[in-house]
Structure 1
Amino acid sequence: MKKRLFLMSVAGLAFAGGLSGTNIYADSSKQVTAVGSTALQPLAAQAADEFGNNHPGVTVNVQGGGSGAGLSQVGKGNVTIGNSDIFAEQKDGIESNKLKDHKVAVVGITPVVNADIKVSSLTMDQLRDIFAGKITNWQEVGGQNKKISLINRAQGSGTRFTFEKEVMDGQETKTSQEQDDNGAVQKIISKTPGAISYLAFSYTAGDQAKNLKPIAIDKVRPTEKNVRNNKWSIWAYEHMYTTKKPDKNTTKFIKFVKSKDMKSTVKKLGYIPVNDMKVTKNADGDVTKK
């Protein structure tokens, strides 16, 4: 049975079910709803398809909305899974002690530029200065004489949180155009000469990414191998948060996402299995070798 992939906005979710405390999914133990991180959305959607084929009668609905929305909605009991690129403890207003964390994968995040830019590597200082608005022309970092067009993710995005934590070193990101999801950023960067942003690795491959160029930092390339040993430091766990006692179908779905059967799919889609990591990272950002 195929899953139904709903791209309902958070506002639409509020209208449909009420963010006032009414659980719009509570009356159906056969329905699993995962809301939140768009970085995790491709994996969650594919897993929903495969899970549905083997579990007739169980529907898995996958929606975006950003990590903040996922954490908020699962915390309020409006959905069964809150997808997030960040730890619940890192999000203000979330009662993390009431949630259960299921780490299902690791995602690398990389700066990306429109393919017309004649730059393939930046120093971390240069990247930081670009997003702080101190460098405004590609000529300043060895490229052609072209204005830099900044594209950022919206507040509440786990991808943005991770990028700013690892890159900006406490500096403010310059106010710029903001987009709600990785897919929108991918399209805009592909069509905008001089543009730069950042994307989950899972959005940097395939036909829709053919006009994108991932950027190395300090000559370290954004690869799975470099994420696994933390040479590439811009990465995050992909979390599926639930209540402390999720229903049985939610539990089965998350177990499936983490299973050996999904490992090849996880890699194919550009994610890294958690067990393949050579290091661990906690909510404070501390990295420890396994």
Structure 2
Amino acid sequence: MRKHFTRFTMLGLLIILAGCASWIDRGESITAVGSSALQPLAESAAESFQTNNPGRFINVQGGGSGTGLSQVQAGAVQIGNSDVFAEEKNGVDADLLVSYKVATVGITPIVNNNVGITNLALEDLRDIFTGKITNWKEVGGKDQKIVLLNRANGSGTRNTFERWVLDGQTAKQSQEQDSSGMVRQIVADTPGAISYVSFSYVTDEITPISIDGVAPTDENVMTNEWVIWSYEHMYTKGEATGLTKEFIEYVLSDAIQDTVVGKLGYIPISKMQVQRDWQGNVIE
């Protein structure tokens, strides 16, 4: 009797798994992996898409832009979310991938609310992250040790921040975190802490920092007066097809671009007054 039960249980399980495989093969489920900066938008769009399309599923995961690009290139996922161009990542063949720019995001330095600083010169910010300045009193703040927090290697947010702030210099070794949400929480909880996040992660828990008197605002990103920004890409291996194409088109639709994008702290592509290529050059 027990053998009978086990045999039929295993048979049922195999039938279910076969059905799932067939369901995925029909294009009813896809996975998007990568940038944590893009993750809130991707998750919100996925939830809305699934509500409007019962039985079709979009699985969204983080892991960083490097993970997204490598996973989509390997064919392990259908969408690789990235806030850097594929051309910027070692080991990624950009010729195999197709970019769909779904939004723009600004990136801002953030500090613990008790630091007492709201503006820094770019040179001072660079000196903080390279370890030349180690106490807030050196830049007009409290007599308090500066605690550096970085995103992990492979993070597109880190790549963009270091590109525009460090100007080729090497960041001082410090604690690293994979998640933008965790970075924000640690900065909020740690006296003297400084790091950086995309605008979409800025809350009252932390203080965003202006640079040379320029505030980290959407308006300043749109004109490139605030230069620490990046495109949010959804990459596919070859042209998007099937459910992948439908979902990306949904993210680019007015339903998402005109409401969800701005609400979550991103900037619709259509509102950008400048464009940049993968090398950072402004395209006229």
TM-score scaled to structure 1, two decimals? 0.88
How far off its partner does 1:167 sit?
A: 0.4
Asked if 1:233 corresponds to 2:231, the answer is: no
**Structure with the bigger percentage of helix:** 2
1:221 equivalenced with 2:215 (yes/no): yes
Structure with larger Rg: 2
1:55-94 C-alpha deviation (Å, 9 max, x unpaired): 1111000000000000000000000000000000100111
- Three-state SS of the structure 2 residue aligned to 1:35 is strand
1:269 aligned partner: 264
SS in 2 for 1:150: strand
Which structure 1 residue ranges, 4+ long, deviate > 3 Å from structure 2?
25-28
Per-residue CA deviation, residues 75-129 of structure 1 (Å, 9 max, x unaligned), is: 0000000000000010011111011100000000000000001111000000000
Q: How many residue pairs were aligned?
A: 262
Letter paired with 1:113: V
Query: Quick one: which amino acid aligns to residue 215 of structure 1?
Result: I
Q: What amino acid is the match of 2:71? A: Q
Q: Return closer, same or farther for 1:28/1:146 CA change in 2, 3 Å cut-off.
A: farther
1:250-269 matched pairs, under 5 angstroms: 250-263=244-257, 264-269=259-264
RMSD: 1.3
CA distance in 1, matches of 2:245, 2:25: 17
Q: Distance in 1 between matches of 2:164 and 2:107?
A: 10
Alignment of 1:1-290 (within 5 A): 27=25, 29-204=27-202, 209-263=203-257, 264-289=259-284
Whether the 8 Å CA contact 1:29–1:247 is kept in 2: the answer is: no
Any idea what SS the aligned residue of 1:272 has?
A: coil
Distance in 1 between residues matched to 2:146 and 2:24, nearest whole Å: 48
Aligned 8 A contact 1:126 1:141 in 2: yes
**Partner of 2:14 in structure 1?**
none
- Answer whether contact 1:37 1:70 (CA < 8 A) is retained: yes
TM-score of the two chains, using structure 2 as the length reference = 0.90
Deviation at 1:247, TM superposition (A): 3.0
CA offset at residue 211 of structure 1? 2.1
What is the DSSP-based 3-state SS (H/G/I as helix, E as strand, rest coil) of the residue aligned with 1:57?
Answer: coil
Once the two structures are superposed, what CA deviation does each residue of 1:170-223 show, in whole Å capped at 9, x if it has no partner?
11000000001101101100100100000000000xxxx322000000000000
User: Which blocks of at least 5 consecutive residues in structure 2 are unaligned?
Assistant: 1-20
